[in-house]
Structures are given as structure tokens and as C-alpha cells.
């Protein structure tokens, strides 16, 4: 298995009441930003990633990118990745991912990523995303063309890495008379590509056709098994058997020396409403952004702090918010979040059996710990230490017992189908009912 960890690199020195009142981090005025604090935080977050190099059980660190929001200071994650490429020697650098529909110049992005791969000596794992709906607004991109932008930019980047130049690229949206990048990736024919997602079956099927691993971002377990099934059936139509190497999962996890402290860290993840308040629904899912199937699947999801655009606050007039009552409702949801394993927090002895259940249900070859919320730096570092020294060793042993191989142990898409042509399921849905 591949184990890595992730943080949004958030700027938490903002009024929580204002976030709750607007039900959105996106759109909060940048007058709240203090450059000195921002500088301290970015360096802290880089130090945490570099510290992971010392914890040998971590295989990789994960970065992402968002714009125009205090929820994520990594507005240009390739800058952070380039720092880590030089400052570390062992860790893979996983980017989940570059929002290519909002990148005005995908050829420039291909060159940036190739440079990072070269500087890291072949440790880059790029990932491409459509970008949240709010990213379209922040970057002045038409959401109705999002999928077309994504497909076309992806194809251009792959060609720039693999096709001898110079050549001409003429698409519907991107036009290049001269494509001839001299900086190309060290990993050949190109670095491995992983794709993250929330609930879109379109993205899952696209990944299966490309034989790219799909990383589910803290979605409920049962709907996630449904996505696994969509991928597996699509893979079968493409002529191969999907396995753990085709799947990854992101899980909020907080570990401390005692249970109460761990739980308090977990509760801070709900600051401002958590990921549910990443952006208002009308900004998160603007007209034309999602397909009908993705919209229907989103409508079936329960509101939770890991699902953007669906507030966990009581419904009502959004113009009139009782902030105190709303805050109480947000933090009161912690118990349910913990019960359904959307949040796992506590001592190593507490979190390990619950994480083993997640692995037993989903059977992913890639697993990512998500650490966020306004938690003191020393507590974050202690959490990483406990993950690296106590939690990951136990999970790695469990993964071996389950036969969970990662994309570097077995190439995604390399397994043949059974003679019957029917694919074997990857997830074990019976384990959903297993006691912890």
C-alpha cells in the first residue's frame, strides 16, 4: 500500500462567525489576510511535509490547489511541490490536483510538472481535476465548457510529454502552432497519473477508461463502494480487472496521546462548518458544471462536513442566520460524523480498528490521512509522529493480509479478466455492517 497525508494549508485566523453567517469560506473578503501570518503558515506547512521524510512509514505527501479562499493557501501548489522536490529525497510528491480547465496555458503546466519531476528525480505523481465550481468563478472560466476544457487540456499535456516535437495542436478550445517542450519528465513515458473526485460517475468512468487510479475524497463508505462498482464494470468493458491498485481513499484522521485530546482535534475540523462550507451550492455547482447523473448522485448524498456545497446547518432563510444556534448545530454533528466513520479521532488504539474497517470495506491500494482545522502546530506534528510510528505500521500489516497492492506494485489495468468476462468486485460491502 501507499500511505500519504494531506492538509488544505488553511488560513484559520478569520472570524468563524462570518463564515457561518455566509455558509461559505469562498467569497470571504481578503482584507482578513495578514501576510506575516500567511508567511508563517506556509512555512509551517512545508516544514510538516519535510518532517514526513523522517517518518519512514509515510510513502508520499499530497498537495492540492484552490483559489480565492482562506480554506486553502496553496493557490499555486506547483510552487510548493518544487520546494519539496528539492528539500526531500524519498517521498513521492502527489498533486491532487491541477485544475486544468481553469489553466489558461496547459502547455506551460506540462513544462512546470516536467521540471518538478526532474528536480525530484522521478518522484512526481501528478493528478488532474476539473476544479470546484467556485474555481471557474475565481478564474473566469465558463463552467459549461468545464468537461471539454478538461479533456482537451489533458490530451495536450500527455502529448507534450510523449509526442516528439515540434508539432501543432488544434483543439476546440486550445490552439498551439508550435509544441516543442525541451523539458520533459524523467519518468517515461510520463509520470503516473492519479485522479481525485467526490461523487461524479463521469469522472470515475473516465478514470477507468484511462486506467488511472481514482482517489475518493472522504465520501461516505456505501456510496464510495457504488463508485468502485461503476469503475470496475467500466474497466471490464475495457478488457481488464480492476483491483486495489486502481483505488485510493482520503480520510480525516486525528491522533493524540489521549482520547479526549484527539477528539478535540477532530472537532476543530468542523471549524466554520468544515468542507461543507467550502462554497455555497450556487457557487460550488454553477449551471452547466455537472452532468445530470452527477447532479442526481449529489442530491442523494447526506450533508456532511466532507461534502462541499451541502451545509450541515439547519435549513432556513440563508439571509437570517442565528450564528450561535448554527455553531451549536455544526459541532453537535461531530458525534454522528464520528459514528459513520467520516471522522476518526483519538488514540492510536482507538483509530486503528476503525481505519482497518475502512480498508476492509473499500480495499484501496492508496490511503491518505487528512489533517485540518485550527489545531496548534505542536499537536499536528505529534499527530504525524503517531501516524508514522504506530498507526501506519498496523494498517500496512492489515493491508498485506487483505492483499492490497498499490499502483507501483501492480500496474493499474494490467490484470486480465476472468474467463467468464465478469469482473470481481473490489469493495467488500458485507464489511459495512462489521462491528468495530
Residue 144 gets which letter from DSSP? G
CA–CA distance from 69 to each of 12, 140, 255, 279, 337 (Å)? 11, 15, 27, 9, 24
Do residues 67 and 138 make contact, with C-beta atoms less than 8 angstroms apart? yes
State which residues of the chain have pLDDT below 50.
Answer: none
pLDDT at 305: 53
Closest to 386 in 3D by CA, of 350, 361, 360: 350
pLDDT at 394: 98
pLDDT at 294: 65
**Sign of the CA dihedral with 315 first, then 219, 425, and 151 last:** positive
Beta strand spans in 264-408 (E):
344-346, 366-370
Q: Please provide residue 142's backbone torsions phi and psi, each rounded to the nearest 5 degrees.
A: -75, 115
pLDDT at 311: 59
Helices then strands (H, E): number in the chain? 16, 13
The C-alpha atoms of residue 372 and residue 380 are separated, in whole angstroms, by: 9
The C-alpha atoms of residue 345 and residue 120 are separated, in whole angstroms, by: 33
Cis link prior to 189 (omega < 30° from 0)? yes
Query: pLDDT tens digit string along 303-340?
Result: 555 555 555 555 555 556 789 999 999 999 999 999 99
pLDDT at 59: 98
Do residues 431 and 362 make contact, with C-beta atoms less than 8 angstroms apart? no
Angle value at C-alpha 48, between 45 and 50, nearest 5 degrees: 110
Residues 6+ apart with CB under 8 A from 172: 148, 152
pLDDT at 315: 53
Each as own residue / partner, the long-range contacts of residues 228-233 (CB below 8 Å, 24 or more positions apart, any chain) are 228/362, 228/425, 228/426, 228/427, 229/425, 229/427, 230/201, 230/204, 230/205, 231/204, 231/205, 231/207, 231/426, 232/208, 232/423, 232/424, 232/425, 232/426, 233/423
pLDDT at 307: 57
Q: Is 193 left (phi over 0), alpha (psi -120 to 50) or beta?
A: beta
Beta pairing partners, 346: 255
Amino acid at each position: 500500500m501507499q500511505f500519504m497525508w494531506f492538509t488544505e494549508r488553511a488560513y484559520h485566523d478569520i472570524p468563524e462567525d462570518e463564515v457561518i453567517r455566509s455558509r461559505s469560506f469562498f467569497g470571504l473578503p481578503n482584507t482578513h489576510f495578514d501576510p506575516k501570518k500567511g508567511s508563517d503558515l506556509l512555512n509551517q506547512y512545508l516544514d510538516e511535509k519535510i518532517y514526513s521524510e523522517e517518518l519512514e512509514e509515510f510513502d508520499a505527501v499530497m498537495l492540492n490547489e484552490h483559489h480565492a479562499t482562506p480554506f486553502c493557501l496553496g493557490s499555486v501548489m506547483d510552487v510548493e511541490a518544487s520546494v519539496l522536490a528539492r528539500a526531500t529525497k524519498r517521498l513521492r510528491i502527489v498533486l491532487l490536483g491541477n485544475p486544468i480547465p481553469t489553466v489558461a496555458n496547459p502547455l506551460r503546466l506540462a513544462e512546470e510538472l516536467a521540471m518538478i519531476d526532474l528536480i525530484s528525480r522521478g518522484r512526481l505523481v501528478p493528478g488532474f481535476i476539473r476544479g470546484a465550481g467556485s474555481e471557474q468563478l475565481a478564474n473566469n472560466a465558463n463552467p459549461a465548457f468545464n468537461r471539454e476544457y478538461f479533456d482537451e487540456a489533458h490530451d495536450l499535456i500527455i502529448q507534450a510529454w510523449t509526442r516528439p516535437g515540434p508539432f501543432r495542436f488544434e483543439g476546440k478550445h486550445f490552439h498551439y502552432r508550435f509544441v516543442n517542450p525541451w523539458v520533459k519528465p524523467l519518468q517515461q513515458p510520463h509520470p503516473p497519473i492519479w485522479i481525485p473526485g467526490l461523487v461524479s460517475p463521469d469522472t470515475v468512468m473516465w478514470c477507468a477508461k484511462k486506467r488511472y487510479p481514482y482517489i475518493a475524497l472522504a465520501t461516505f463508505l456505501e456510496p464510495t463502494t457504488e463508485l468502485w462498482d461503476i469503475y470496475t464494470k467500466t474497466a471490464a468493458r475495457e478488457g481488464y480487472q480492476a483491483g486495489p491498485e486502481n483505488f485510493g481513499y482520503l480520510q480525516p484522521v486525528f491522533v493524540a496521546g489521549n482520547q479526549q485530546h484527539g477528539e478535540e482535534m477532530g472537532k476543530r475540523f468542523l471549524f466554520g462548518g468544515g468542507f461543507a462550507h467550502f462554497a455555497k451550492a450556487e457557487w460550488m455547482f454553477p449551471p452547466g458544471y455537472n452532468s445530470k447523473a452527477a447532479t442526481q448522485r449529489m442530491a442523494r448524498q447526506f450533508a456532511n462536513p466532507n461534502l462541499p456545497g451541502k451545509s450541515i446547518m439547519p435549513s432556513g432563510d440563508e439571509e437570517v442566520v442565528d450564528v450561535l444556534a448554527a455553531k451549536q448545530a455544526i459541532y453537535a454533528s461531530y458525534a454522528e460524523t464520528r459514528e459513520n466513520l467520516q471522522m476518526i479521532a483519538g488514540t492510536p488504539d482507538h483509530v486503528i480498528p476503525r481505519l482497518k474497517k475502512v480498508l476492509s470495506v473499500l480495499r484501496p491500494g492508496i490511503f491518505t490521512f487528512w489533517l485540518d482545522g485550527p489545531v496548534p502546530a505542536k499537536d499536528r506534528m505529534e499527530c504525524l509522529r503517531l501516524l508514522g510510528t504506530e498507526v501506519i505500521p498496523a494498517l500496512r500489516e492489515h493491508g498485506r493480509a487483505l492483499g492490497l497492492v498499490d499502483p507501483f506494485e501492480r500496474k493499474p489495468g494490467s490484470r486480465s479478466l476472468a474467463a467468464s468476462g465478469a469482473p470481481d468486485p473490489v469493495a467488500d460491502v458485507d464489511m459495512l455492517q462489521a462491528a468495530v
